[in-house]
Structure 1
Amino acid sequence: MTARPDGLRARRTRKLLRDALIELIEERGFDRITVNRLTERAMVSRAAFYRAYRDKYHLVEQVFEEALDVLVAAVAEDDCVDTRVERWIGFFEHVGEYRRLYGALLGDRGSPWFAAKMRATLERTVAGHFPDPAADTLTPALVAAMFVQAITWWLENDRPVSEREIALRTIRVSAALLADAGIGRPING
């Protein structure tokens, strides 16, 4: 069975817009990007943009949410430590695959909005593993901030270690924080 042409066209449009977004963030910074500049750079119509996205924030959210949906579902459904570790490694692999986008969004010319959204989403994911999430809001916030900072450091330093290594280092430190909060246990490995 072949894909419908408009399905292929829509995927192509999304890819062109994502590529244009990265280039423009690197050149101008996220805050100075307009939908008009995005569509001009991507060579797609404004109508095509608005068929796929509400605004530039929605475009950025979609890339991040695609990766996070897989991670959140896997972590939420599986209490096996080894599986959760592999999911976090997979998340860092996603970041590595889209390193230009994440580097642009989290770097100096990036978006404080995106960094805050990423932290908040990761914080909710971590808090979901607490028996009483309202009892300790600091630990999930620290873990989320640590993951965002680890990603930022890793990208700004041109990925000096593998996805697996940065994920394992970050997981070990976060596991120690969680163990100190009475959730889980330290991870060795």
Structure 2
Amino acid sequence: MTRPGENLRVRRTQTLLRGALVELIEERGFDKVTVGQVTERAMVSRASFYRNYRDKYHLVEQIFDEAMAELLDAADGSRSPLERWVGFFEHIDACHRFYGALLGRKGSPWFADRMRTALASMVTTHLEVPEDGAAAPGPALVPAVLAAVLLQSVTWWLENGRPLPPREIATRSARLAGALIAEANGWTAPPR
């Protein structure tokens, strides 16, 4: 059984490591950051790092996976897709330095691909395009395009200093995605 003090220490260590990672990405770029630099900046031992994460990629994945779990919110079917998307933008807003660092010019193409893949998987559940692909130029096209639109919405929002509140950017990007979904759901024959 985990004692409350241990849980607090783990959360504190994770917070310090996450903060140090963001600072280092902003300074050096994701590819140049090492675990040693992260632990030194966080003033945390390497052993503490490796008790929580395999490597810097695992640290990033864990943060993003927590956000995706919140977005998908499998246990709570009472939230509409738009409300989950608003929640995702609220998460992005709360962690804007993290996402800005990873999606910015010093960021990581690996992370952008990981995020695009997760978003494509998420939007697939909202499509009614025939699975045989007969009506579409391939069943993977629509989720890929939607994921790119959604990722670009996040990136644009961050690069421009979050000029709209999370609800507003979520609503606008959801409308764009909805228009693409409506078009794709109307495909009954290949476009001519």
TM-score normalised by structure 1 residue count? 0.89
Residue aligning to 1:116: 113
- Aligned-pair identity in percent equals 56
User: CA-to-partner distance for each residue in 1:69-128, whole Å, 9 max, x for gaps?
Assistant: 121135x974x8x71111100100000000000000000000000000000011011113
Residue aligning to 1:144: 147
Q: Aligned to 1:181, what secondary structure does the other structure show?
A: helix
One-letter amino acid matched to 1:121: A
Return the offset for 1:67: 1.0
- Number of aligned pairs? 179
Matched ranges for 1:161-172 at <5 A: 161-172=164-175
Q: Which runs of 5+ in 2 are unaligned?
A: 134-138, 187-192
Let me know the Cα RMSD of the aligned residues: 1.9
Residue aligning to 2:184: 181
Range 127-136 or range 141-150, more displaced: 127-136
Residue aligning to 1:50: 50
One-letter amino acid matched to 2:23: E
Return the offset for 1:12: 0.5
Residue aligning to 1:186: none
User: CA-to-partner distance for each residue in 1:115-146, whole Å, 9 max, x for gaps?
Assistant: 00000011011113335556321111111111
One-letter amino acid matched to 1:90: G
Residue aligning to 1:87: 84
Q: Aligned to 2:80, what secondary structure does the other structure show?
A: helix
Distance 2:148 2:141 in 1: 11
Q: Which runs of 5+ in 1 are unaligned?
A: 184-189
Distance 2:100 2:119 in 1: 18
Q: Aligned to 1:146, what secondary structure does the other structure show?
A: helix
Task: Answer whether contact 2:127 2:185 (CA < 8 A) is retained.
Answer: no
Residue aligning to 2:31: 31
Return the offset for 1:6: 1.4
Task: Answer whether contact 1:127 1:133 (CA < 8 A) is retained.
Answer: no
Task: Answer whether contact 1:19 1:42 (CA < 8 A) is retained.
Answer: yes
Residue aligning to 1:71: 71
Q: 1:158 aligned to 157, 161, 164, which one?
A: 161
One-letter amino acid matched to 1:10: V
Identify if the C-alpha distance between structure 1 residues 133 and 41 changes in structure 2 by more than 3 Å, giving closer, same or farther: farther
Residue aligning to 1:14: 14
Identify if the C-alpha distance between structure 1 residues 17 and 88 changes in structure 2 by more than 3 Å, giving closer, same or farther: same
